[in-house]
Structure 1
Amino acid sequence: MTTMTEASVREFKMPDVGEGLTEAEILKWYVQPGDTVTDGQVVCEVETAKAAVELPIPYDGVVHALHFPEGTTVDVGQSIIAVDVSGGAAAAEAAAEPAPESAPEKKPEGRKPVLVGYGVAESSTKRRPRKGPTVPVQEAAVQVVQAVQSELNGHGPAVVKERPLAKPPVRKLAKDLGVDLSTVVPSGPDGIITREDVHAAVAPPKAPEPATAAPAPAPAAPVAAYDGARETRIPVKGVRKATAAAMVGSAFTAPHVTEFVTVDVTRTMKLVEELRQDKDMQGLRVNPLLLIAKALLVAIKRNPDINASWDEANQEIVVKHYVNLGIAAATPRGLIVPNIKDAHDKTLPQLAASLGELVATARDGRTSPAAMQGGTVTITNVGVFGVDTGTPIINPGEAAILAVGAIKLQPWVHKGKVKPRQVTTLALSFDHRLVDGELGSKVLADVAAVLEQPKRLITWA
């Protein structure tokens, strides 16, 4: 039988798919051991703290081993899949064999293209020790070797210790609590270890009863067990975990101030209908949010100090001379805020095209980490949920966020008479360290003025 050389196995490591990310969860494998892969083929989907990302393999070959099951959180830099790049019958036969625990990689000559954020020059890279769960096949092989060695040394017949059955979240919990799963008594179906089993393993042992005949203390009230039929527990990870941390950090770091204004947007709504019929806007996403975004860009142009950030390390206010306009989007994986790069330079049709692409990509869960970095100001449209307005929390690293409420037909005094008009409420939250009440009020008033009289888009632009 042909054997596989170490040089023929290439280890594909978890790349840093965004700035500063340290880990990602494997959501889905698209290949299995024995499958043939080609350079650029997507082999798995992972979720980081920012978004779900598909990872392509950077070389041709046959999948030798998948190092982690779906649902496992893996550190950046850890090998997640081994590929035999030698080809031929040897590769197919070796697909069922375990990969070495730390197989050295053959260093290519010169610098070759790599994925964005994936590694650096080979000469300066050192393999990090694996911190995650070992490969099931590898673990079984190690246990067999240990058992055979034990028998050869005269310690009795070879006995292979079975790997405890537990789901990835339970294994992670056991790892965090320092519990050896092999010592845990399972209570789940088919011998599966549950979260309750792990917690029970770290519970303090019961104190022995005293030797005297003193009456035993009354038993404590039983703790209510988790009822899966009446409750659902959702692990906080990925996008939700990152959003929670960012919002807490922003709320308790930046002193928030929120101002409100109610405005008649009847003329803006009429302009939306006219633009939908305009030949230059055909096929583009035309809605009130488009004109609200344009109104905010005009207000920033008139009040550029609102487009800034606070540099805590240097105790400086950094005013940005560009606008990366963030749009808060609710997705199945949580709230994300992708932004339109250099929105200040875009025409209305270009802004509409960018807005439509941003929303469609977010809904499909394909927003890239780069699209959520570098924002300078944000809009959150809570009106789509029928909400009048809110007090939004500033996106970290920005100075302001505009909340747009529902647009409703309401009685309004127009030209001295009470008439039904399209009305909405805007709320602007800003960081009071770098935006005072005057500046925040001017920006909010300018946005309202443009929406009340859309012709100001021309006169003020």
Structure 2
Amino acid sequence: MTTDVHSLREFKMPDVGEGLTEAEILTWYVKPGDTVTDGQVVCEVETAKAAVELPIPFTGVVEALHFPAGATVDVGTSIIAVAVAGAAPAPAAAPAAAAPAAEPEPERREVLVGYGPRTGSAQRRARRTNGAGAAAAAPAPVAAPAPAPVAAPAPAPAPAVAEGERPLAKPPVRKLAKDLGIDLRAVVPTGPNGVITREDVHAAASAVAGAAVQPVAAAAAPVAEPVAAALPVPAAAGDVRVPVKGVRKATAQAMVASAFTAPHVTEFVQVDVTRTMKLVRKLKESGELGAGVRVSPLLLVAKALLTAVKRHPEINASWDEAAQEIVLRGAVNLGIAAATPRGLIVPNIKDAGSRTLPQLAVALGDLVETARQGKTSPADMAGGSITITNVGVFGVDTGTPILNPGEAAILAFGAVRELPWVHKGKVVPRQVTTLALSFDHRLVDGELGSKVLADTAAMLEHPKRLITWG
């Protein structure tokens, strides 16, 4: 390669979703020596939200891949070098390991999903120096009143963010801070590169609570909250360890946050769905919903729930802890829990409540197929308002589902079984299922939850009369 004709361009790991700080490289689609064009997908990465394909924004020949598949890379770190013809000479690229310490470039950073390009630098907070007598490298515009020449006892954690700077934190941590009413800009980060951790948020919440009760019970303030120690699991022969990262890690954090911030209540009802199962068979055989449209019991359960939500719109809501408000959602974005090789995800059908049965069938089929292929985007999983989890496909009768964070209710659809049932005064075999509705008791009281569950069950008992399409 002649350096007077070509110059090296470095493609950095973009921020593929607001607040994400890292991504794992799943697959490279190119290798050194390959020619790439502007917009060509060069690799697939997995974030805490989804797997995303990354297109490169220039044309040239691949010089080097800085990280192998399976590596986790910080946002802003160069991942591939490309020799670009006819471009102005670029500064020599720093080694990949030194990328986080490089000077920020005042350029537009590409954001591939949902939030548009950012302008300005992508500067990280400088790392603290642990050497004796070394001063913290990060600026501290928020000055704490410090007495004059008193020796600092130990290096303090990085200060809270400066005015106008966005604090670094992963989505589950942001959700936890929102639920606890904590402003992330005031939280002192202790994570790598100034990232705010769950422990930082809990510490800030404890400090706020301690300040509130100090005049009444000052002696209780220094007492640490009793938290079970994270004891290591001893190794044993035959054990296999699987790193928790990406979608699976985000799901685990979200479920813990949901379970311990929203007061869950679950109600159950058994339903005679014999007529629903007959209608499913009829729609499959007749093709009334359109050629190639997949018809399943889940489709009619979804339509029944959406009709119940339309009758009782108060259940389509979210709890805003920071504003101390209940947000009544304008559209019903119906989430469908889907098990994938990378973990549980909950993509949703936007404005599902306004769709006819054929439209809902098409949207549901597309959602399931995209999830199976691992191509669900972060945008498809954002903004859900109520969810269905179909545990019946695993032969399970029912369960007590945990709410998807930010939603007021989730419906579990159990297995359909032939059981003895009293029908028209006689005990006869009927197709029966169990529905379980979990809801956030801050938003949904027993009356509202019971009405939604009962209406959903009634529509599944008499689907021809109560479910319409056009």
What's the TM-score, normalizing by structure 2?
0.71
The CA distance in 2 between the partners of 1:317 and 1:59, in whole Å, is 46
In the alignment, which of 106, 117, 122 is matched to residue 120 of structure 1? 117
C-alpha distance after superposition, 1:69-108 (max 9, x if no partner): 22211122222112121179x99xx99x979966889988
Does residue 1:454 correspond to 2:453, yes or no? Answer: no
The CA distance in 2 between the partners of 1:246 and 1:388, in whole Å, is 25
Any idea what SS the aligned residue of 1:321 has?
A: coil
Contact kept? 1:24, 1:74, Cα under 8 Å: yes
Classify 1:419/1:286 alpha carbon distance in 2 versus 1 (closer, same or farther; 3 Å): same
5 Å-filtered alignment, 1:19-168, equals 19-86=18-85, 115-116=112-113, 120=117, 124-126=120-122, 128=124
Any idea what SS the aligned residue of 1:8 has?
A: strand
Contact kept? 1:78, 1:130, Cα under 8 Å: no
User: For structure 1, which segment, 12-21 or 55-64, has the greater mean C-alpha deviation from structure 2 after superposition?
Assistant: 12-21
Contact kept? 1:78, 1:128, Cα under 8 Å: no
Give 1:121 shift.
Answer: 5.1
Does residue 1:414 correspond to 2:410, yes or no? Answer: no
Structure 2 partner of 1:334 = 343
The CA distance in 2 between the partners of 1:367 and 1:100, in whole Å, is 31
Contact kept? 2:421, 2:430, Cα under 8 Å: yes
Structure 2 partner of 1:321 = 330
Unpaired runs of at least 5, structure 1: 132-175, 178-222
Classify 1:70/1:277 alpha carbon distance in 2 versus 1 (closer, same or farther; 3 Å): same
Does residue 1:291 correspond to 2:290, yes or no? Answer: no
C-alpha distance after superposition, 1:265-313 (max 9, x if no partner): 0001111111112333231110000000000000000000000000000
Larger radius of gyration: 1
Contact kept? 1:34, 1:62, Cα under 8 Å: yes
Does residue 1:241 correspond to 2:238, yes or no? Answer: no
Contact kept? 1:64, 1:99, Cα under 8 Å: no
Structure 1 partner of 2:178 = none
In the alignment, which of 364, 378, 382 is matched to residue 373 of structure 2? 364
Contact kept? 1:331, 1:362, Cα under 8 Å: yes
The CA distance in 1 between the partners of 2:461 and 2:233, in whole Å, is 57
C-alpha distance after superposition, 1:301-336 (max 9, x if no partner): 000000000000011110112100000001111100
Contact kept? 2:387, 2:411, Cα under 8 Å: yes
Classify 1:118/1:31 alpha carbon distance in 2 versus 1 (closer, same or farther; 3 Å): farther
What code does the residue aligned with 2:85 have? S
The CA distance in 2 between the partners of 1:408 and 1:98, in whole Å, is 61
Structure 2 partner of 1:266 = 274
Give % identity. Answer: 73
5 Å-filtered alignment, 1:191-206, equals none
Give 1:225 shift.
Answer: 7.7
What code does the residue aligned with 1:2 have? T
In the alignment, which of 440, 443, 449 is matched to residue 434 of structure 1? 443
Structure 2 partner of 1:405 = 414
Classify 1:380/1:225 alpha carbon distance in 2 versus 1 (closer, same or farther; 3 Å): closer
What code does the residue aligned with 1:18 have? G
Contact kept? 1:409, 1:421, Cα under 8 Å: yes
Any idea what SS the aligned residue of 2:449 has?
A: helix
The CA distance in 2 between the partners of 1:317 and 1:376, in whole Å, is 13
Any idea what SS the aligned residue of 2:85 has?
A: coil
The CA distance in 2 between the partners of 1:358 and 1:428, in whole Å, is 22
Does residue 1:11 correspond to 2:10, yes or no? Answer: yes
C-alpha distance after superposition, 1:181-238 (max 9, x if no partner): xxxxxxxxxxxxxxxxxxxxxxxxxxxxxxxxxxxxxxxxxx998456x111111111
User: For structure 1, which segment, 280-289 or 327-336, has the greater mean C-alpha deviation from structure 2 after superposition?
Assistant: 280-289
The CA distance in 1 between the partners of 2:82 and 2:115, in whole Å, is 17
Classify 1:311/1:114 alpha carbon distance in 2 versus 1 (closer, same or farther; 3 Å): closer
What's the TM-score, normalizing by structure 1?
0.72
C-alpha distance after superposition, 1:93-143 (max 9, x if no partner): x99x979966889988xx898744687355x12455899xxxxxxxxxxxx
The CA distance in 1 between the partners of 2:469 and 2:70, in whole Å, is 52
What code does the residue aligned with 1:125 have? S
Does residue 1:393 correspond to 2:402, yes or no? Answer: yes
The CA distance in 2 between the partners of 1:224 and 1:234, in whole Å, is 13
Contact kept? 2:110, 2:117, Cα under 8 Å: no
Structure 2 partner of 1:139 = none
The CA distance in 1 between the partners of 2:307 and 2:268, in whole Å, is 19
Any idea what SS the aligned residue of 1:28 has?
A: strand
Give 1:459 shift.
Answer: 7.5
The CA distance in 2 between the partners of 1:267 and 1:324, in whole Å, is 27
Does residue 1:373 correspond to 2:390, yes or no? Answer: no
What code does the residue aligned with 2:2 have? T
* Paired positions, count: 363
Unpaired runs of at least 5, structure 2: 128-190, 193-231
